[in-house]
C-alpha cells in the first residue's frame, strides 16, 4: 500500500511544476509557433505538448503509481482505463485559443483528486505572472518574476455576494443556456474571461458566480475548482449536489467529460 504525502507536501511539488511549465510556454510564445488542429477541431501547439511533458515527468518521478489523466495524452488515446480513488488531472495549457490569439487568459492546471473531490490544485497564468494555489485550509495567490519564480504570496478567500452579483462566463465557449441562466440574476455584472481563471476570480473575491452550461472536460476544471474550494467556495451540478470527478460522471459522454455546473462563492440565500 502506497503512503501518500500530506496535502501541503503535494502542493509543494505541484507549484514549481506549474511554474516550470509556464516558463516553457512563454519561451515558445516569445519565439513564435504554429497551431495544429486535433481530431475534435480544437487547437494544439508545441507549448501544450512541452508543458505537459514537464508536468508528467515531475508527477511520475514524485508520485510513482498515482494515475495521471492529462489532456494531450488523452487526445492521443493514452488516458488510463481506471484511475481509482486518487489521481491527478492535468491541462498543460488551458485556453489554447487565447494563447494562439495573443490573449493572456491561458493557464497551466494541475489537480489532485481524492474520492471524487479536487483537494489540491494549482493554476498558473504565466502571461499575467499569477499563480493560484489551494489545498484544504490554504488558498493563496503568488505573483511571479520575469523568470517565473515566486515572489509575494497572499491568502485569498471568496467574498460574501450581494446584489448586483458579478458573474463570470467563458470568453470563447458561451452558450444560450448559459445566457439564460445568468438572466435569472439580472441585474448582474458580467465579466468574460478565458480558461480556469474564472474559478480564480471567484476564489480571490473578485466575482460571485460562474455557470458553465456547455461541455468541458475534467482537466479543464479540477485545478481551479480545488483552489475555489480551498478559498471557501463550491462547485455544484445543476441539481445542487457537489461536483464530483472520476470516470463516467457525465452520462453518455467521454469518460472524463463534465456535466454542466455552477461554481460560486458565498451567495446570499433566501
Q: Which residues are annotated as a binding site?
A: 71, 91, 93-96, 220
Q: Residue positions in the annotated binding site for substrate? A: 71, 93-96, 220
Q: In the chain, where does DSSP find H-type helix?
A: 7-31, 46-62, 71-75, 96-101, 176-183, 197-203, 218-230
Q: What secondary structure letter does DSSP report for 179?
A: H
Query: Cβ(137)–Cβ(226) under 8 Å?
Result: no
Tell me the longest C-alpha to C-alpha distance in the chain: 54
Residue 240, Cβ neighbours under 10 Å: how many?
Answer: 7
Q: Is 92 exposed, middle or buried (0-12, 13-18, 19+ CB in 10 A)?
A: buried
Bind-site residues for Mg(2+):
71, 91, 93-94, 220
Dist. CA 97–CA 215, nearest whole Å: 16
Q: What is the phi/psi pair of residue 131, to 5°?
A: -115, 125
Instruction: Identify the helix (H) or strand (E) that includes residue 170.
Output: strand 166-170
Strand order of the β-sheet with 130-135 is 68-70, 86-94, 107-114, 117-125, 130-135, 138-144, 150-155
Query: To 5 degrees, how large is the angle CA 28–CA 29–CA 34?
Result: 80
Amino acid at each position: 500500500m502506497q503512503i501518500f504525502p500530506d496535502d501541503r507536501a503535494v502542493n509543494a511539488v505541484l507549484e514549481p511544476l506549474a511554474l516550470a511549465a509556464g516558463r516553457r510556454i512563454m519561451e515558445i510564445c516569445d519565439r513564435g509557433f504554429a497551431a495544429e488542429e486535433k481530431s475534435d477541431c480544437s487547437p494544439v501547439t508545441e507549448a501544450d505538448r512541452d508543458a505537459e511533458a514537464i508536468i508528467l515527468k515531475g508527477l511520475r518521478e514524485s508520485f510513482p503509481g498515482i494515475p495521471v489523466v492529462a489532456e494531450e495524452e488523452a487526445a492521443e488515446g493514452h488516458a488510463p482505463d481506471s484511475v481509482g480513488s486518487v489521481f491527478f488531472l492535468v491541462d498543460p495549457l488551458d485556453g489554447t485559443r487565447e494563447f494562439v490569439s495573443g490573449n493572456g487568459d491561458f493557464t497551466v492546471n494541475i489537480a489532485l483528486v481524492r474520492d471524487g473531490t479536487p483537494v489540491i490544485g494549482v493554476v498558473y497564468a504565466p502571461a499575467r505572472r499569477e499563480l493560484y494555489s489551494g489545498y484544504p485550509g490554504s488558498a493563496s495567490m503568488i505573483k511571479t518574476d520575469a523568470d517565473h519564480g515566486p515572489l509575494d504570496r497572499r491568502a485569498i478567500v471568496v467574498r460574501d455576494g450581494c446584489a448586483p452579483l458579478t458573474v463570470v462566463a467563458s470568453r470563447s465557449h458561451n452558450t444560450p443556456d448559459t445566457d439564460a441562466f445568468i438572466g435569472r440574476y439580472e441585474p448582474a455584472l458580467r465579466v468574460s474571461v478565458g480558461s480556469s481563471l474564472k474559478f480564480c476570480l471567484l476564489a480571490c473575491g473578485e466575482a460571485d458566480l460562474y455557470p458553465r452550461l456547455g461541455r468541458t472536460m475534467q482537466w479543464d476544471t479540477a485545478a481551479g475548482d480545488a483552489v475555489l474550494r480551498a478559498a471557501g467556495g463550491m462547485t455544484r451540478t445543476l441539481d445542487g449536489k457537489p461536483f464530483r470527478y472520476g470516470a463516467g460522471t457525465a452520462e453518455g459522454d467521454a469518460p472524463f467529460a463534465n456535466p454542466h455546473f455552477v461554481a460560486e462563492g458565498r451567495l446570499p440565500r433566501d
